[in-house]
């Protein structure tokens, strides 16, 4: 098996190759033509091989690079290609919220799977999105990796900033054997949210250690607001953890100003990257290759 790391996921791709018994690892050559069109070229002996392409789709340019890499790998004569998208961009637009909108997550699924024999991703915003793929698609989870980090910290209760994260926080709570609850979230605009506590809490918040668990940290607005509410209710120690850390603009600094620590997996490079999903992805790939 060969592993190719696209520009959005080079470091994680290398970690995955190491997990796959040091599978040959390559970084494609990429450049832009004067008119800004993208050019990619893969190297190595890929003919007749199983090839894994690792590329998060955070930016539109990442999406295009992935599509070109898939075609390049096919042209190189690969036997099968497995596409790993650690951070699956556009996953939050998983339905039509207002008339006239696309279901962007579905569009991405259709394009990402185009030349792939199977797709592997990590903690989709909603696992339902997996059903949009017509090829075999698998979802690894960053929750166990984050749970391993939290296990060594004082921790009394886990919190999801919204109802959409209930499954995630429940899974983490099971692994750590802790109580949990979810805020009610109302989004005011793309950077501001309003959070309200549920009418009953599993434990009183005065003096306790809390971990806020979210799938994505983007502008940081959600975590900052959650930390403010928890502090107001007397929480003593607050940490924030996410699977996918986008940390746009000064999000990391703003969050660090209100919580004790911030944790993220390595689906995207960021300053909070403290746990790797490479072993979880490699496990799925090993099963795919064997099957
Ligand atoms: C939204 O539903 C997601 O689960 C996250 O809560 C959201 O993307 C976080 O965004 P931000 O950091 O901009 O508040």
| Tens digits of residue pLDDT in 135-172 | 999 999 999 999 999 998 999 999 999 999 999 999 99
Catalytic site residues? 185
Sign of CA dihedral 143, 147, 148, 149: positive
| Ligand 1 lined by 217 (C-beta under 6 Å) | yes
| Best residue among 128, 188, 216 to mutate for probing ligand 1, ranked by most atoms within 8 Å of CB | 216
Q: What is the mean pLDDT of residues 36-53?
A: 97
Q: What's this model's pTM, rounded to 2 decimal places?
A: 0.95
Task: Tell me: pLDDT of 291 over 90.
Answer: no
Q: Report helix angle 166-176 to 143-150, nearest 10.
A: 50
| Predicted local distance difference test score (pLDDT) of residue 214 | 97
Helix (H) or strand (E) holding 18: helix 10-19
Q: Tell me which residue has its CA closest to atom 8 in ligand 1.
A: 216
Q: What is the pLDDT at residue 179? A: 98
Of 169, 192, 217, 254, the residue with max ligand 1 atoms within 8 A of its CB, to mutate for a pocket test, comes to 217
Residue 15 pLDDT > 90, yes or no?
yes
Average pLDDT of every residue of the chain? 97
Ligand 1 contact via 215 beta carbon (within 6 Å): yes
Nearest-CA residue for ligand 1 atom 9 is 217
Query: Residue 266 has what pLDDT?
Result: 98
What does the pLDDT look like over 62-71, one tens digit per residue?
A: 999 999 999 9
Q: What is the CB-side half-sphere exposure of residue 158 using CA atoms within 13 A?
A: 27
Residue 191 has pLDDT above 90, yes or no: no
Say what angle helices 10-19 and 278-290 make with each other, to 10 degrees. Answer: 60
- The rounded percent of the chain whose pLDDT value lies above 70 is 100
Per DSSP, the residues of 152-219 read: TS--SEEEESSGGGHHHHHHHHHHHT--EEE-EEEEEETTEEEEE--SS-SS--TT-EEEEEEEEESS
Residue 76 confidence (pLDDT):
98
Distances (CA, A) of 186 to 38, 169, 196, 210, 221: 39, 19, 9, 21, 12
**Could you report the per-residue pLDDT of 204-242, keeping only the tens digit for each?**
999 999 999 999 999 999 999 999 999 999 999 999 999
Whole-number Å distance between alpha carbons of 121 and 58: 13
Spatial separation of the C-alpha atoms in residues 89 and 290, rounded to whole Å: 29
């Amino acid at each position: 098996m060969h592993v190719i790391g696209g520009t959005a996921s080079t470091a994680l791709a290398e970690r995955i190759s190491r997990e796959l018994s040091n599978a040959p690892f390559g970084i494609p050559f990429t450049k832009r033509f004067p008119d800004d069109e993208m050019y990619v070229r893969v190297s190595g002996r890929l003919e007749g091989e199983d090839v894994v392409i690792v590329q998060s789709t955070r930016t539109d340019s990442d999406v295009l690079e992935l599509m070109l890499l898939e075609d390049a790998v096919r042209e190189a004569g690969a036997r099968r290609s497995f596409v790993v998208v650690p951070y699956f961009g556009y996953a939050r637009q998983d339905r039509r919220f207002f008339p006239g909108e696309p279901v962007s997550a579905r569009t991405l699924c259709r394009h990402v799977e185009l030349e792939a024999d199977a797709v592997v991703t990590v903690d989709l915003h909603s696992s339902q999105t997996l059903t949009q793929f017509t090829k075999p698609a698998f979802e690894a989870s960053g929750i166990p990796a984050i749970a391993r980090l939290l296990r060594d910290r004082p921790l009394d209760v886990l919190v999801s900033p919204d109802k959409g994260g209930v499954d995630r926080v429940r899974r983490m709570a099971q692994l750590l054997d802790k109580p949990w609850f979810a805020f009610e979230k109302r989004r005011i605009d793309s950077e501001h949210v309003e959070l309200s506590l549920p009418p009953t809490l599993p434990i009183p918040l005065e003096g306790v250690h809390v971990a806020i668990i979210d799938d994505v940290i983007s502008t940081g607005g959600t975590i900052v607001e959650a930390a403010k509410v928890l502090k107001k209710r007397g929480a003593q120690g607050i940490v924030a953890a996410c699977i996918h850390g986008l940390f746009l603009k000064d999000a990391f600094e703003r969050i660090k100003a209100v919580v004790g620590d911030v944790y993220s997996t390595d689906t995207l490079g960021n300053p909070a990257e403290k746990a790797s999903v490479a072993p979880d992805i490699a496990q799925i790939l090993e099963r795919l290759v064997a099957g």
